[in-house]
């Protein structure tokens, strides 16, 4: 039998077994599939051209078959993104597409489309003393009926233009993909087993001159949070998750402050961070 091309990997959850193989197993009871995904209620398969194949099952097991010559960072991009999302869904741990941090004693999650500023603003807050919680994927669970963040991210993914604003240095950082100007940026973490979630900010770029912040409630807040479910298409194979997630989202929209934040296209990361910091301090 051929030996697998060996790479060294890490995963956000310590209790998940990782195994590198020549060929990953297949999904036995497929419910949802497309050109690169095959998903069942407790199984997940993904193939990424130029990177490798991945299999995850029952929330605690992952197989990886990397293509020869692929870098660790390229594999971890999918392992700690799409595969991590599959494991969380298998555990019924609500994954939201957002980055989060703790400031003035409050748990804050930033959501929004790619490029809205989730990761860069989280980095800016944390470089100014906030506690880093998550990047890109924020697992949320209920404790005594209240939403809490599971802080399992170790690094933040940043584009080169954001790094230049934040640190003016990318020379010593790991490039995520060889063909992209995007890097992993490590931030010293405080030790949190979990943290309550208090504020959810939905970031968007709009045709505005100044930052506009509007609080949303009720069904509008509920819908906004639902739309941030990470890899929501996976739920096509996991219909039993829907009821559980609706309860969690209802708790978030009821307990947390939810805001729509529209920013100008051209505004510095530091200025945007200072505006949000002042707003959060005034609206505790």
What's the average model confidence in pLDDT over 213-224? 97
More confident residue, 182 or 217: 217
Q: Is residue 3 predicted with pLDDT exceeding 60? A: no
Nearest C-alpha neighbor of 48 from the set 37, 40, 38: 37
C-alpha torsion sign, points 199, 205, 211, 213: negative
* Confidence category of residue 258, pLDDT binned at 50, 70, 90: very high
pLDDT above 70 (res 263):
yes
Distance CA 278, CA 99 (A): 19
Structure tokens at 171: 């020379």
- Rounded to whole angstroms, the Cα distance separating 263 from 213 reads 9
Q: How far apart are CA 221 and CA 135, in angstroms?
A: 22
pTM over 0.85: yes
pLDDT tens across 155-212, in order?
898 988 888 888 866 556 778 777 777 888 888 777 788 999 999 999 999 999 999 9
CA 284 to CA 199: how far, in whole Å?
Answer: 9
Q: Dump pLDDT digits (tens) for 100-119.
A: 999 989 999 999 988 889 99
Is 71 a residue whose pLDDT tops 70? yes
pLDDT at residue number 2: 47
How many Cβ atoms are within 10 Å of 281's Cβ, its own excluded? 11
Instruction: Please classify residue 261 by burial: count the beta carbons closer than 10 Å to its beta carbon, then call 0-12 exposed, 13-18 middle and 19+ buried.
Output: buried
Residue 171's pLDDT is 56
End-to-end CA distance of the chain: 60
User: For the residues 247-258, what does the mean pLDDT come to?
Assistant: 97
Q: What pLDDT was estimated at residue 1?
A: 42
Structure confidence by residue, pLDDT tens digits, 138-165: 999 999 999 999 998 878 989 888 888 8
Q: Which two tokens stand for residue 283?
A: 């609206």
What's the pLDDT tens digit per position in 36-47?
999 999 999 999
CA atoms of 239 and 47, how far apart (whole Å): 23
Taking the C-alpha atoms of 140, 142, 143 and 148 in order, what is their torsion angle to the nearest 10 degrees?
Answer: 30
Least confident of 62-76, 156-170, 205-219, 233-247: 156-170
Average pLDDT, the chain: 91
Query: Which domains can be identified in the chain, with CATH numbers?
Result: 17-90 (no CATH), 94-282 (3.40.50.300)
């Amino acid at each position: 039998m051929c030996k697998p091309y060996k790479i060294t990997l890490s995963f956000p959850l310590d209790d998940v077994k990782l195994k590198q193989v020549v060929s990953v197993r297949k999904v036995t009871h497929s419910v949802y599939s497309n050109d690169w995904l095959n998903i069942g209620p407790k199984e997940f398969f993904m193939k990424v051209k130029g990177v490798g194949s991945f299999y995850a099952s029952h929330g605690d097991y992952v197989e990886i078959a990397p293509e020869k010559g692929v870098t660790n960072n390229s594999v971890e991009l999918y392992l700690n993104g799409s595969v991590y999302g599959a494991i969380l869904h298998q555990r019924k741990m609500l994954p939201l597409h957002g980055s989060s941090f703790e400031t003035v004693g409050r748990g804050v999650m930033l959501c929004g489309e790619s490029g809205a500023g989730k990761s860069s603003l989280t980095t800016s807050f944390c470089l100014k003393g906030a506690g880093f919680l998550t990047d890109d994927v924020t697992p949320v669970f209920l404790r005594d009926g209240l939403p809490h963040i599971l802080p399992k991210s170790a690094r933040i993914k940043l584009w080169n233009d954001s790094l230049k604003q934040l640190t003016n240095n990318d020379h010593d950082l790991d490039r995520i993909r060889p063909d992209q100007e995007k890097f992993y940026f490590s931030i010293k973490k405080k030790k949190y087993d979990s943290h309550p979630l208090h504020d959810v900010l939905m970031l968007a770029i709009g045709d505005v001159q100044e930052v506009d912040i509007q609080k949303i409630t009720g069904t509008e807040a509920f819908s906004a949070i639902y739309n941030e479910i990470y890899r929501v298409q996976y739920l096509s194979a996991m219909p039993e998750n829907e009821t559980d997630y609706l309860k969690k989202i209802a708790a978030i929209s009821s307990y947390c402050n939810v805001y729509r934040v529209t920013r100008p296209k051209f505004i510095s990361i530091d200025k945007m961070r200072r505006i949000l910091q002042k707003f959060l301090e005034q609206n505790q």
